[in-house]
Structure 1
């Protein structure tokens, strides 16, 4: 649909741009991320594997890469649901770290941060819609339920067919036994009457 081909790149553009900007100045973005990193990642840094970055600059670079890759995938319509979830996962910590309006003392700064926070909340809503968009196809849950229902019907049809065929075979066998019994009875009676 043409709407998806226009909407996805529009939604993705802010993430691609933000990711590129973060890669150009990771130290500047790391300063904004540092309070959140200090509260969340730093206390658990020793228990994490050595390959997991724990310093703010590295985390900003990883976040930038997620935004660029996820935004590009979303813009191109490749794995749109997965890429929307990737971007949503990147957006939440970025919003909390970058726009903590609740911490601002100055009312003008608080209002500016609130506007940015709400803008990101709106982007999160768009990403949730993109993540839920099945492009007109039924959902996985619906398809699974339908497949299960069809499988049950197939088993029931097969069981009915087997019962019907078994009943017919039993009927033929009974007739054959009756016929053979009748012939044997006649043969015995014939032999006894001589």
Structure 2
């Protein structure tokens, strides 16, 4: 659809640009992210394996690469739902560390950061729509409901068969004996006619 081919690159552009900018100025971005990283990852760094990076500059670079790769994939329509989910996961810590308008004293700076915060909230909304967009194909939720519904029908049909058999077995012994006698008679008459 033409709308998706236009909307995805428009949505991805800010992330690709932001990722390139973060790579170019990784030290400045790391300084901005350091307080939030210290509160989150720093408190648990001794529990993490040695192979997991915890220094702010490396984490900023990894986040930048994720934004560039996922943004490019979204723009090209490659794995768009997954790419949008990666960008959304990247947007949350970026917004939380860079646009804490509620902590600022200066009114003009607070207003500017509030605008950036709300812009990122709007981008998050667009990414949520991209994550949910199945391009008209049935979603996993639809498939799960469909399987559950048809399984329920089969179980119900099986239950009815079992109940019918139980009802027949519970009928009086004389009724069952008459049915068996009729069945033997029918089988005997078939044998004689051949």
The interval holding the TM-score normalised by the smaller chain is 0.7 to 0.9
- Structure 2 unmatched runs, 5+: 165-179
Equivalent in the alignment of 2:89: 89
CA distance, structure 2, for counterparts of residue 23 and residue 75 of structure 1: 20
> For the pair shown, which has the larger CA radius of gyration, 1 or 2?
1
CA distance, structure 2, for counterparts of residue 157 and residue 41 of structure 1: 54
Q: TM-score, normalised by structure 1?
A: 0.80
- 1:69 to partner: Cα distance: 1.2
Equivalent in the alignment of 1:47: 47
Q: Deviation digits for residues 141-169 of structure 1, max 9, x if unmatched? A: 122211232344456678999x9xxxxxx
CA distance, structure 2, for counterparts of residue 95 and residue 109 of structure 1: 15
Which 4+ runs in 1 deviate beyond 6 A?
155-161, 173-176
CA distance, structure 2, for counterparts of residue 10 and residue 45 of structure 1: 37
Q: Deviation digits for residues 115-154 of structure 1, max 9, x if unmatched? A: 1111111101111111111112232112221123234445
Name the SS for the 1:65 alignment partner: helix
Equivalent in the alignment of 1:121: 121
- Range with greater deviation from structure 2 (151-160 or 141-150): 151-160
May I ask how many residue pairs the two structures share in their alignment?
178
- 1:31 to partner: Cα distance: 0.9
Q: TM-score, normalised by structure 2?
A: 0.80
Q: Deviation digits for residues 160-190 of structure 1, max 9, x if unmatched? A: 99x9xxxxxxxxx976731565799xxxxxx
Equivalent in the alignment of 2:20: 20
Q: 1:42 to 1:175 in 2, by over 3 A?
A: same
CA distance, structure 1, for counterparts of residue 5 and residue 133 of structure 2: 13
Name the SS for the 2:78 alignment partner: coil
Q: 1:154 to 1:37 in 2, by over 3 A?
A: same
Q: 1:178 aligns with which of 174, 177, 185?
A: 185
CA distance, structure 1, for counterparts of residue 187 and residue 43 of structure 2: 89
Matched, 1:103 2:103: yes
Q: 1:47 to 1:159 in 2, by over 3 A?
A: closer
CA RMSD of aligned residues (A): 2.8
CA distance, structure 2, for counterparts of residue 41 and residue 180 of structure 1: 81
Q: 1:140 to 1:106 in 2, by over 3 A?
A: same
Q: 1:70 to 1:174 in 2, by over 3 A?
A: farther
